Amino acid sequence: MEEKSLDHKEILSLLPHRYPFLFLDRVIYWSKDPPVIEAIKCFTMNEAFFQGHFPGEPVVPGVILVEALAQLGMIFLKKLHPEFQERLFFLAGVEKARFRRPVFPGEVARLKLQGYKLRKNIVQTSGKVLVDEELAAEAQIIAAIK
């Protein structure tokens, strides 16, 4: 079994996203067999979206949690399939999204994707966002590979 982590430089080499729209700090684990990847995102009060979501009661927007899972999915597929290194991934769908608890400034989210299905240029994977081992969000992410 192959196990690895990725630092911020490697993440930047695999993703086209940059601040303020990069939502992964570090990949802490990935494996080809079984296919799984885990990353962390430390949400600080300095995140731009906290200014308006919501003043006086800042909460990470659910769409940001889904986007973080999608970004992790792009890294996941590029590590599992090196032939996709130079390809772009576009979000094509989100299914079965559920938000179980809010994520607040100062919390560390652990994102995890397990397994995937790849057909032609469409990929699907399932992921979870945990805070202190408590489920915060989950969704199936579908992407088109260009």
User: What is the DSSP pairing of strand 134-145 with strand 89-99?
Assistant: antiparallel
Nearest to 102, CA basis, from 48, 145, 65: 65
Give me the half-sphere count of Cα atoms (radius 13 Å) on the Cβ side of residue 138: 7
Catalytic residue numbers read: 53
Could you tell me if residue 96 is left (phi over 0), alpha (psi between -120 and 50 degrees) or otherwise beta?
left
Nearest to 73, CA basis, from 41, 39, 100: 39
